[in-house]
Amino acid sequence: MTLGGIDIVMLIASMMVAATPILLAATGEMVAEKAGVLNLGVEGMMIMGAIGGFGAAVLTGSPVIGFLAAAAAGVVMALLFAVLTLKLLSNQVATGLALTLFGLGLSALLGQGLQGIKPPPTARLPLGPLADLPVLGPIVFGHDWVVYLSLALVVAVRWYLARTRGGLVLRAVGENPDAAHALGYPVVRVRVLALAFGGALAGLGGAYLSLVRVPQWTEGMTAGAGWIALAIVVFASWRAERVLLGAYLFGGITVLQLRLQAAGVAIPVQILSMAPYLITILVLVVMSARGGRARLQAPAALGRPFVAVR
């Protein structure tokens, strides 16, 4: 199936690959925000995951260890943010920015000498003849394990938030931390754990960029993916299934503009490259223009500091 010289099946398959880093990061950030913490440092955690995962995978030759290291790097960054905002009560917006600036700098420093190296390839799931099916093969069965992991995580997060006791407590902490505290729930601990989860997923997302999607290390390679993940959480009005929708839409736009560039369409490359960012702005405007509804979905205590009263 082709349309204007672009193969639709391959387009959808590569859309899923392009969307996975953002999907992972946005899912994690959504959980953190559900607990009431606004971590603007997603970009910083992602890029640390990208370099951490890349370095570990190149050193050990194992992409799995790479992804584990990336998650660990994301968690460390998230815990840094947690200590600052939850223990030392710093401003969440400023601290998130600091996390991003620090991550971009430190990753560039750690990545010295890693440029131009090819990482070990991440394996596709051995699904045998299924992957050779027409149409369904490349779309449903032809991916590496991280794509399926990201989808499983979306399902798991949705189930956890909606159906479990832990999810209920997490949401309570994000909606009304004082009430949760009064009921005896450990507000700060819940928030730290939610942040760490978000960091791990952002790290995985970053590693997916450097190990699969690109795959190599370049300075500042996340190029705003972390910020787009933050925008997608708003677009999704803090619901897991809509995060999936948003990330895939965004992945689709990214891949489409890349294909149009490759097909040599008579639009300047730069105009096509700015399309994803412009569309993100457009989406944010549409969501906020729908008025109170989107805002009502936001966790009530999002971004507010919490100080336990004895």
**Which residues of this protein are in contact with other proteins, per CB under 8 A?**
40, 80, 83-84, 88-91, 93-95, 97-99, 101-106, 108-109, 111-112, 219, 223-224, 227-228, 230-231, 234, 268, 270-271, 273-274, 277-278, 280-281, 284-285, 288-289, 291, 295, 307
> CB of 272: closest distance to other proteins in angstroms?
9
> CB of 111: closest distance to other proteins in angstroms?
8
Dist CA 150 CA 201 (whole Å): 9
> CB of 241: closest distance to other proteins in angstroms?
22
* Cβ proximity to other proteins, 156 vs 278, nearer residue: 278
* Cβ proximity to other proteins, 89 vs 130, nearer residue: 89
* Cβ proximity to other proteins, 2 vs 288, nearer residue: 288
For tokens 């799931």, name the residue. Answer: 125
Query: In this structure, what DSSP letter does residue 115 have?
Result: T
> CB of 288: closest distance to other proteins in angstroms?
4
> CB of 136: closest distance to other proteins in angstroms?
35
> CB of 267: closest distance to other proteins in angstroms?
11
Where are the alpha helices (H) located in the chain, listed in sequence order? 8-34, 42-60, 63-82, 92-110, 136, 145-163, 165-175, 177-182, 187-208, 225-235, 240-262, 269-289, 292-297
* Cβ proximity to other proteins, 182 vs 282, nearer residue: 282
> CB of 60: closest distance to other proteins in angstroms?
20
Q: Do the beta carbons of residue 6 and residue 137 sit within 8 Å? A: no
Phi, psi of 119 (to 5 degrees): -75, 160
Query: In this structure, what DSSP letter does residue 130 have?
Result: G
R_g over Cα of the chain: 20
* Cβ proximity to other proteins, 95 vs 122, nearer residue: 95
For 41-100, the DSSP string reads THHHHHHHHHHHHHHHHHHHS-HHHHHHHHHHHHHHHHHHHHIIIIIS---HHHHHHHHH
- Beta bridge partners of residue 2, listed in sequence order: 7
* Cβ proximity to other proteins, 20 vs 257, nearer residue: 257
* Cβ proximity to other proteins, 28 vs 111, nearer residue: 111
Q: Could you give the C-alpha distances from 220 to 158, 187, 217, 274, in angstroms and in order?
A: 31, 34, 9, 17
